[in-house]
Structure 1
Amino acid sequence: MATPSHRRRSRPQRRTAWVSAVAVAAVALVVSLVVAFQPGDEGGRRTAATSVAEAREAVTPTASPSASPSPSASATPTKRASASPAAKKSRKASPSAARTTASSRPAAGTAGSTGSGSATLAGRIRPGTAYQGVATHYDAGTGDGACSFGPNATMMVAAMNTADYETSKACGASVLVRAASGASVTVKIVNECPAPCRPGQLDLSKQAFAKLAALSAGQIPVTWSLLSPATPETVAIRYKTGSSRYWCGVQALDHRNPLARLEVRTGGGWQQLPRTGYNYFLSEQGTGCGGAIRITDIYGQQLTFESIALSPNVVQRTSAQFTAR
């Protein structure tokens, strides 16, 4: 049996064990409480930290150097975002804008215009074209004819076939005529050659035909083309006999290039007058008679005359001429 002393010794040991157990339990409780509030907890603190991090990442798309880049914070999406759809549309539209703002040439039709350079207003007879046909001859008298120009000093004149005469549109045209022999002559169209003259045919004055072949030849094959010749003369304007402010006929003479139209100024602007087969432009109601006159050649060049008196059958010389083409 145990001695009393042994008992006394054993009672303090049991007390120590109990105290130790209580202490261990207390420590465990404290530890558990501390652990419950650690940052690694799956509770509210971790959730709050995650929300703050996500908010920070949303404000700053680019990842920090210490963190590995994630798909939502990579540099590539940032570069794409810098080019907005509006910016892309603007870049695509720039070539069209350049075309739209490209300067355009002024249209022919302004006073003093030199035209476009191409005979956009020409009829059947066009510059830069060689026409095939035949040449015949006739007695041209004084050189006058259907074009109503009056006597011609040089007599280097011709009548144009009806098709190419084109209701007097050929009047005043200068034409270079070449024969198969190589001989050539320049003539002015002053007349119309009706049937049996056919398209391409020129009926030359005897003086002009003699430059190409003997008159006895009667008819020869030729080529001919339109010219814009040198000339010392300026354009003249003439009102037809019987013209007044109630009716008038207007004619242009000595123009370097064929005429496309003649206009008179009215209260509403310029009015084009119809052309007759005898080469006058008529104002049947007197519109514009005695006022400003504007003429346009087949190249679009325009000349305007402000001070032409309404004096019938008087040739009124101007100081202007179409430029050579």
Structure 2
Amino acid sequence: MARNTQYVIFTLILLLSLTAVSRAAPAASTTIFLPLIASPPAPIPFGPVHTGEGTYYNATGAGNCSFPASPDNLMVAAMNHSDYDNAALCGAYVQATGPNGAVIVRIVDRCPECAPGDIDFSREAFARIADPVDGRVPISWQLVSYPLPGPIVYHFKDGSNEWWTAVQIRNHSNPIAKLEALDGNGVFQEIPRTTYNYFVAASGLGPGPYTFRATDIFGQTITDSGIPHVENGDVSGSAQFPPPP
């Protein structure tokens, strides 16, 4: 009887010890791996810093550059006639700084009455850099290489055809310097640019498809073959211009 009692007591002590150890044991640690989220590329300023005056107007996104209206994005502006330079800055991105801050705008129009260095902003963009009640404020600005999603886009003008071909480049990160088309002899021929931002082959480029070579102001090129003619339509290119070299 005593032996049985001792056995029961020993068993109870053993069970209590195991329970205490189990409760005291630390919980297994868990490591959580979070995905790395890369920051989007930042705009890269380049070229000289210009100074002038900033004003604003009721912009729609359309204008002398012949881009369509962009009611969902009115961070746009009109460039003074001198810096507009025969549409050379159409579609370019500019970082402008005023008394109250900075803003990046896309050039969509020409301001013929503006002095060199001046920019006429959309009302929405002007409000980012100054109080609209001021109307006219001192600014500084610089061109930027602006990272854009997707490739460049070729847009053929309404009325464009094989005998009079007018094409425009849209969605470009850097200002466009020139556009060339491959002729029947395998030689690239530059297409003249108009003040309304179309490259126009007055004698036409034929029925297509075409091989185009677009060059930005840094001399970087994108060559696209098999581009069909789509009157008043868009055709995507194969790539986007990289940042300045």
Does structure 2 conserve the Cα–Cα contact (< 8 Å) formed by 1:130 and 1:224? yes
1:267 matched residue in structure 2: 184
Query: C-alpha separation between the residues in 2 aligned to 1:319 and 1:245?
Result: 23
CA drift at 1:225: 0.2
The structure in which a higher percent of residues are strand is: 2
Query: C-alpha separation between the residues in 1 aligned to 2:211 and 2:91?
Result: 22
Query: C-alpha separation between the residues in 2 aligned to 1:317 and 1:271?
Result: 21
Query: C-alpha separation between the residues in 1 aligned to 2:89 and 2:65?
Result: 9
1:146 matched residue in structure 2: 64
Q: Is the alpha carbon distance of 1:179 and 1:311 closer, same or farther for their aligned partners in structure 2, counting shifts above 3 Å?
A: same
1:93-242 equivalence runs, <5 A: 127-141=46-60, 143-152=61-70, 153-181=72-100, 183-195=101-113, 197-242=114-159
SS of 1:130's equivalent in the other structure is strand
1:107 matched residue in structure 2: none
Unaligned runs of 5+ in 2: 1-44
Q: 1:306 aligns with which of 225, 229, 243?
A: 225
Does structure 2 conserve the Cα–Cα contact (< 8 Å) formed by 1:248 and 1:289? no
Kindly tell me the number of residue pairs found equivalent between the two proteins.
197
RMSD of the TM alignment (CA)?
1.4
CA drift at 1:288: 5.5
Identity fraction in percent? 41
- Report runs of 4+ in structure 1 exceeding 3 Å deviation: none
Unaligned runs of 5+ in 1: 1-125
CA drift at 1:180: 3.3
Q: Is the alpha carbon distance of 1:289 and 1:264 closer, same or farther for their aligned partners in structure 2, counting shifts above 3 Å?
A: farther
1:282 matched residue in structure 2: 200
Could you tell me the TM-score, scaled by structure 1's length? Answer: 0.59
CA drift at 1:238: 1.0
What one-letter code is carried by the residue in structure 2 that aligns with 1:251? Answer: Q
Query: C-alpha separation between the residues in 2 aligned to 1:319 and 1:246?
Result: 26
1:315 matched residue in structure 2: 234
Q: Is the alpha carbon distance of 1:312 and 1:260 closer, same or farther for their aligned partners in structure 2, counting shifts above 3 Å?
A: same
CA drift at 1:259: 0.5
Could you tell me the TM-score, scaled by structure 2's length? Answer: 0.77
CA drift at 1:289: 5.7
Query: C-alpha separation between the residues in 2 aligned to 1:136 and 1:288?
Result: 44
CA drift at 1:315: 1.3
